[in-house]
Amino acid sequence: MTGRTDLARHPREHGCGSSLSRPTRRRLLAGVAGLAAGSCMLPGGGPSAATLLEIQPFAGPSTGPVGGPLDSAPSRPGTPLDGDVTGALSYLITDGERTLIDIALERDLGILSISALNPGIDVWVPGAERLVALPTARVLPEHERRGIIVNLAELRLYHFPEPDTVPNVHTIGIGRDGFTTPLGSTTVTRKQADPTWYPTEATRADRPELPAVVPAGPDNPLGRHAIYLGFPTYLIHGTNRPYGVGRRVSRGCIRMYPDVVARLFERVPVGLPVRIMDDPIKLGWAAGDLYLEVHPDLEQFDELEATYHFTKKPPPDVDARIVAKAGDARARLAWDVIEKELIARRGIPIRITRPEVASADRRHRSTIPSDFIGIY
């Protein structure tokens, strides 16, 4: 997925002469990658719509074959939840002009999450006609689904408009090495538009040039909206440097894209419960199948930042957790697929149960092909 296919280099050798339209050629390119069967142009009619192709979601919960097509469009935020997995994986083909950083900002995605799913692609210079998968499907955090849930490990914030409804999912920036965010339960204590920033003593010790008070304006790192939490000095806020969202660059606060936090600011009331957790491995059920989502650890995120790759590590020992989640379906677990994803850590939901099994002693003889990518 990190480069052009032979079809892109030699279209005539594959029966694709110059008479084919560009969208048709790109559909064929996507077909060669085995990721989609159809395509559509982005809405809007501007330069981006004319040059950037988005491919329809490929797979989702289904009673059909493993990895079969999505049966229906993703549910809208605020509608009742039906399972533990939301969204649908999506794809685009780069136009050679815009960066993946731009695309991440436009779509409220994290650039490190995009890199984990597309290792090796330069996010600043991705090149033209590269097929890129976007992490737009998620297993929901394994916690009570109400208010706000922040999962630091996946650099995402989930806002549930009502308990047990489809959430709005947003990308966040979190603390760099040495600056952690408190874990646990708290609430929204107040909200402030055009906030004033009061740097802490530790911040001013590191940056003596800072004044004691930074008023609202373009130099204020809190941006134009701040949502204060019960944890002193920690808050959810915008930023005057949006390219830092989706990364580990803050001093422990939770940053969001400016336009996104403005919408969240209007939606959340004072007193709303907030849960901050740090779980890189999530499990959830959808349409009778169990899905696994695994994110890179902190060291691997730092490697992605520097090189667009990360060093693979042995799979963590979470067998007992997976078996407990599978329950009566534990005999259907595809352990070869599970082990591969615990190493690959692509940050997307992967189906880890097979449709049927003859006996319960086939843990290492999955009916899912070993090279199958069971994406959601």
Q: Which residues carry out catalysis?
A: 237, 253
Chain centroid to Cα 113, Å, comes to 5
Q: Give, in order, the Cα–Cα distances in Å from 345 to each of 39, 65, 123, 296, 348.
A: 27, 24, 19, 5, 8
**With left for phi above 0 and alpha for psi between -120 and 50, is residue 341 left, alpha or beta?**
alpha
- In degrees and rounded to multiples of 5, residue 238 shows phi and psi of -80, -155
The alpha carbon torsion through 216, 219, 224, 227 (nearest 10 deg) reads -90
Question: Is residue 111 a contact partner of residue 135, using CB atoms and an 8 Å limit?
Answer: no
β-pairing, 254-255 with 273-277? unpaired
| Number of Cα atoms under 13 Å in the Cβ half of residue 375 | 24
Kindly write down the DSSP assignment for every residue of 103-115, as one continuous string: HHHHTT--HHHHH
Which ranges of 165-257 does DSSP label H, i.e. alpha helix?
201-206
The whole-angstrom separation of Cα 53 and Cα 49 is 7
